[in-house]
Amino acid sequence: MIQTVKDLVASKADAAVALAKEIWNYAELSYEEVRSAAALMEALKKKGFAIEEGIAGIPTAFTATFQNGSGKPTVGFLAEYDALAGLSQKAGCPVQEAVEPGGAGHGCGHNLLGAGCYAAAVALKDYLVKESKDGTVIFFGCPAEEGAGAKQFIARAGYFDNVDFAYTWHPETINEVGSKGSVAIMGANFTFTGVAAHAGAEPHLGRSALDAVELMNVGCNYLREHMIDAARIHYAYSDAGGSAPNVVQSCAVIKYEVRAPKVSQVQELFTRVVDVAKGAALMTGTKMQYEITMAFSDYTANRTLGAVVDQCFQELGAPDWTEDDYDLAAGFLRTYPRSTMAGIREKLGAYFAPEELDKALEKPLDSMVHPFNPKETGYNSGSTDVGDVGYATPTVMFHVATACLGNVGHSWQNTAFACSGIGMKGMLRAAEVMTLSAIRTMAQPELIQKAKEELIRKNGGKYRCPLPDYVAPPIGRY
């Protein structure tokens, strides 16, 4: 079976690499991935997949579906293809040099993520046809993971209700089925409205929206002492009310995001942040409105299926690196200053024993598959909308090395790796892992049932979107 899967994916390798490079060149931001989505849809349509565009009210979201025989069971692959602002960088180049100064770049490798899912979906489709196996393959085109997300809106619209399980991956520096989860998040725009006035002659007639924002920040700073250690509160000014200091600012907007390990904890903390904003408005005589723009549920791998994916990954092994790959990776690692390297070594200590770490950094590409720990209960501090899929259907996301050990995410280095030979090798290994895992899972109905029972214990029998029903995808507003 291993060789069969390798052959299936190898026959899609040229197309997948070409797609990854094409999407990398487009480097489109969240909700703007028009050309990237079109490229994926056209490639899947040519392979016999039926396309549904603009799902869940998002123009760049889509499904591509292939059904064979009875169509049961149904597997979903979760693809992403959005880029990040300001991370333009030449492909495979270990010297910082933008393709377009100030332009966007695939600093999280989502071009690889989307193209890897394409290779897996088509490889699985070909397997079902060749072996006359029943099943449905659904490729989910999921934009804006770096923005307000899409998967929670897709889940809320019911697209995962009849999916038996879902697999996806993410470009990383380590090969593993991630044992730790990711935290939930909720974000909103807070708009304060006051009264403009001459700040010198008639300040008593003004009501400063900027003062309200400042007091909200002060209140949230005090709130930080009275929340759980794993929670986070982030903010950024969206509109400071203008640049004239002699005018009392009549309008100001600030973005807030809160994180915590569980979505229930996020909702409780967010309510407290709203109360702080209300208090700031009361103190300044202004009015406050807030608009929830995004929310992701927490993610943990389905433990039942995580063991399956881990076994497949162990059998396939790490990507096959060459000496040239190691040399290029070492060149990138040398771009980090000593202070960053200290943090890199500390982080890698979770994966390598002290006596192994120096040797690993001499050839800084992960050459092993780190074991999955189904008993792990910890969380990483990042967030992803994959968590919402994980509350709607049994879901596993795994990591494959596409960059040097310790490489910092959302960096120019990551953009360069995302269109390099190293990145492409990791992408194709990810496609093999997804294909093999899907084949084995589809062949075991009792395993799928066990995974669903695990899901019911997690979600109580139903997916509940963390966003209120009235919140629409904030296209053009996030």
pLDDT of residue 195: 98
Rg (CA), the chain: 23
Cα 457 to Cα 139: distance, rounded to the nearest angstrom: 27
Cα 417 to Cα 91: distance, rounded to the nearest angstrom: 7
DSSP run (H or E) holding 188 = strand 184-193
If you write DSSP's letter for every residue of 421-458 in order, what string do you get?
HHHHHHHHHHHHHHHHHHHHHHT-HHHHHHHHHHHHHH
Q: Where are the domains of the chain?
A: 2-181+298-459, 184-295
End-to-end CA distance of the chain: 45
Nearest Cα to Cα of residue 140 among 107, 156, 123, 163: 163
Per-residue tokens: 224: 């930080």
Question: What distance lies between CA 13 and its chain's CA centroid?
Answer: 24
Instruction: Name the average pLDDT for the chain.
Output: 96
Cα 224 to Cα 425: distance, rounded to the nearest angstrom: 43
Q: Which residues of 375-396 are buried (b: 16+ CB within 10 A; e: fewer)?
A: eeeebeeebbbbbbbbbbbbbb
CATH class of 184-295: alpha beta
* Contact yes or no for 294/475 (Cβ under 8 A): no
- 3-state secondary structure labels for all residues of 208-265: CHHHHHHHHHHHHHHHHHHCCCCCEEEEEEEECCCCCCCECCCEEEEEEEEEECCHHH
Digit-coded pLDDT (tens) for 406-441: 999 999 999 999 999 999 999 999 999 999 999 999
Torsion, Cα 436 440 441 446, to 10 degrees, reads -170
pLDDT of residue 455: 98
Digit-coded pLDDT (tens) for 364-382: 999 999 999 999 988 988 8
Cα 139 to Cα 461: distance, rounded to the nearest angstrom: 24
> Environment class of residue 222 by beta-carbon count within 10 Å: exposed (0-12), middle (13-18) or buried (19+)?
exposed
Specify the amino acid at residue 124. L
- CATH classification of 2-181+298-459 is 3.40.630.10, yes or no? yes
pLDDT of residue 254: 98
Nearest Cα to Cα of residue 362 among 308, 405, 303: 405
The tens-digit pLDDT sequence of the chain (478 residues) is 899 999 999 999 999 999 999 999 999 999 999 999 999 999 999 999 999 999 999 999 999 999 999 999 999 999 999 999 999 999 999 999 999 999 999 999 999 999 999 999 999 999 999 999 999 999 999 999 999 999 999 999 999 999 999 999 999 999 999 999 999 999 999 999 999 999 999 999 999 999 999 999 999 999 999 999 999 999 999 999 999 999 999 999 999 999 999 999 999 999 999 999 999 999 999 999 999 999 999 999 999 999 999 999 999 999 999 999 999 999 999 999 999 999 999 989 889 998 899 888 999 999 999 999 999 988 988 899 999 999 999 999 999 999 999 999 999 999 999 999 999 999 999 999 999 999 999 999 999 999 999 999 999 999 999 999 999 999 987 7
* Contact yes or no for 8/126 (Cβ under 8 A): yes
* pTM score, whole prediction: 0.94
Backbone angles phi, psi at 118, to 5 degrees: -60, -50
**In terms of residues, how long is the chain?**
478
